[in-house]
């Protein structure tokens, strides 16, 4: 609403300009102003209907109707759930990205899906990739390819267009994995005020991240019945509904016990980690990463996310003389290529294969 107000003021317009054409112009203004999130005209129309309802405006030229692609998005959601078996968070991300693409098609000539071609697809890629980071552009392309495969399987498009989408150069192997020194990990743990409930929770989360190398979503998804105290094991639900049983180290178990007995509020939620204030619902994956960033701020360290502690776990295994196979086992990698990324920090193994410089020079 604030953005629409600024747009109206900058153009010298009044509320009569809140028509479908006006909102399309507003969407273009947002892109030119540097906003990276796309605007759904459907959502803007709902806002206009609200303004009519409260009497702020008396007339609006927008009729909120079912978008022509809503039914396709609904079918795509069922495909992701039933056929691919993705998690709820992944389904939400894929559906949101597909909505952005279909909305772009609608705003740029309402192209019929059966008439899609490589030129149209790559126009969308160029238009969206210029405003986002490389990793975000890569995720956009991945979700677009998934949607295009769905179109082909459903007979919406006569040909498979997914291979025609251009790729983004990820330069995945160009940098060393970002990891923290052991002393920094110790300082992160000590920065938690374990006299408070939130401090005990944050300490237990940091212990799981740094000792077991769990992902943020795996920590957030832990349930009370996932802890097998008798066997000293932890059930971790990873990507693709995969479940693994990991040994529960003594120090991690002690941190969990302290949080559960002396910090966690009594509530109906079955998640191990819940918010520090009401309503006491499960903490999100982004909330787990926020805990890591706040801990970095307390010790004067440049902020990093939860995944950095996963890299730290792998690096510590290699520095202690472990192998890449052991790293893959602890981090539960499905692909050897993922684990191979850590070969660059295994300096002892790299020294053994280094060839001398021609001519004997340094």
Structural domain spans, the chain:
2-53, 84-164, 182-347
Report the C-alpha gap between 103 and 105 in whole angstroms: 5
Average pLDDT over residues 245-257: 93
- Residue 62 has φ and ψ, to the nearest 5°, of -110, 130
Q: Which of 145, 217, 264, 310 is catalytic?
A: 310
pLDDT, residue 270, reads 93
Average pLDDT over residues 109-134: 79
CA within 13 Å, CB half, 147? 26
Query: b vs e for 147-177, b when ≥16 Cβ sit within 10 Å of the residue's Cβ?
Result: bbbbbeeeebbeeebbeebeebeeeeeeeee
Least confident of 139-143, 205-209, 216-220: 139-143
310 is catalytic: yes
Cis bond leading into 279, ω under 30°?
A: yes
- 74-115: per-residue pLDDT in tens? 888 889 888 888 877 788 888 888 888 888 887 776 567 888
Q: What CATH fold (topology level) applies to the domain 182-347?
A: hpI Integrase; Chain A (1.10.443)
Per-residue pLDDT band for 182 (boundaries 50, 70, 90) equals confident
Q: Where are the alpha helices (DSSP H) in the chain?
A: 2-11, 20-32, 41-53, 70-82, 88-107, 118-129, 134-153, 182-190, 197-212, 216-220, 250-262, 285-298, 306-319, 324-331, 336-340, 347-353
Per-residue pLDDT band for 18 (boundaries 50, 70, 90) equals confident
Q: Which of 201, 215, 217, 275 is catalytic?
A: 215
Q: What is the pTM of this model?
A: 0.59
pLDDT, residue 62, reads 45
Average pLDDT over residues 149-166: 89
For the chain, what is the mean pLDDT? 80
Is the model's pLDDT at 147 over the cut of 80?
yes
pLDDT, residue 63, reads 43
- Sign of torsion, CA 27 30 31 37? negative
Q: What percent of the chain has pLDDT over 90?
A: 26
Report the C-alpha gap between 286 and 219 in whole angstroms: 11
- Burial of residue 78 (CB within 10 Å: 0-12, 13-18, 19+) is exposed
Pick from 215, 268, 213, 206: nearest CA to 238: 215
Query: b vs e for 22-51, b when ≥16 Cβ sit within 10 Å of the residue's Cβ?
Result: bbeebbebbeeeeeeebbbbbebbebbeeb
Report the C-alpha gap between 345 and 176 in whole angstroms: 7
- 262-308: per-residue pLDDT in tens? 999 999 999 999 988 888 889 988 899 999 999 999 999 998 888 88
Q: Which of 67, 237, 307, 344 is catalytic?
A: 307
Average pLDDT over residues 337-358: 58
333 is catalytic: yes
pLDDT, residue 16, reads 72
Query: Do the beta carbons of residue 345 and residue 177 sit within 8 Å?
Result: yes
94 is catalytic: no
307 is catalytic: yes
Q: Which of 239, 242, 270, 281 is catalytic?
A: 239
More confidently predicted of 175 and 13: 13
- Taking residue 183's Cβ as centre, other Cβ atoms within 10 Å add up to 8
Q: Which of 131, 139, 293, 333 is catalytic?
A: 333
The pair of three-digit structure tokens given for residue 263, joined into one six-digit string: 């910090």
Q: What percent of the chain has pLDDT over 70?
A: 78
Q: Which range, 16-25, 119-128, 159-168, 204-213, has the best average confidence (pLDDT)?
A: 204-213
342 is catalytic: yes
pLDDT, residue 21, reads 64
């Amino acid at each position: 609403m604030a953005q629409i107000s600024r747009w109206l003021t900058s153009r010298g317009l009044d509320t009569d300009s809140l028509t479908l054409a006006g909102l399309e112009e507003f969407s273009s203004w947002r892109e030119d102003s540097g906003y990276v999130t796309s605007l759904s005209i459907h959502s803007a129309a709902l806002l206009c209907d609200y303004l009519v309802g409260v009497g702020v405006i008396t007339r609006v030229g927008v009729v909120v109707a079912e978008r022509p692609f809503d039914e396709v998005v609904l079918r795509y959601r069922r495909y992701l759930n039933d056929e691919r078996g993705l998690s709820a968070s992944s389904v939400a991300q894929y559906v949101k990205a597909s909505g952005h693409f279909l909305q772009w098609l609608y705003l740029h000539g309402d192209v019929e899906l059966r008439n899609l071609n490589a030129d149209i697809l790559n126009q969308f890629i160029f238009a969206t990739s210029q405003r986002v980071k490389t990793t975000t552009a890569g995720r956009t392309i991945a979700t677009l390819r998934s949607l295009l495969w769905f179109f082909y399987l459903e007979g919406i498009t006569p040909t498979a267009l997914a291979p025609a989408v251009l790729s983004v150069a990820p330069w995945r192997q160009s940098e060393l994995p970002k990891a923290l020194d052991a002393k920094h990990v110790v300082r992160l743990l000590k920065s938690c005020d374990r006299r408070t409930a939130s401090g005990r929770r944050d300490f237990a989360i940091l212990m799981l991240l740094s000792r077991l190398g769990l992902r943020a979503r795996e920590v957030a998804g832990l349930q009370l019945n996932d802890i097998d105290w008798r066997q000293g094991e932890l059930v971790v639900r990873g990507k693709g509904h995969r479940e693994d049983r990991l040994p529960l180290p003594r120090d991690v178990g002690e941190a969990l016990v302290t949080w559960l007995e002396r910090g966690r509020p009594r509530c109906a939620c079955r998640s191990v980690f819940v918010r520090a204030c009401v309503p006491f619902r499960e903490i999100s994956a982004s909330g787990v990463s926020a805990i890591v960033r706040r801990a970095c701020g307390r010790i004067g360290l440049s902020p990093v996310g939860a995944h950095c502690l996963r890299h730290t776990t792998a690096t510590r295994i290699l520095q202690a003389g472990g192998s890449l196979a052991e790293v893959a086992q602890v981090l539960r990698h499905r692909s050897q290529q993922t684990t191979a990324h850590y070969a660059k920090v295994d300096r002892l193994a790299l020294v053994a294969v280094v060839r001398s410089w021609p001519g004997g020079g340094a």
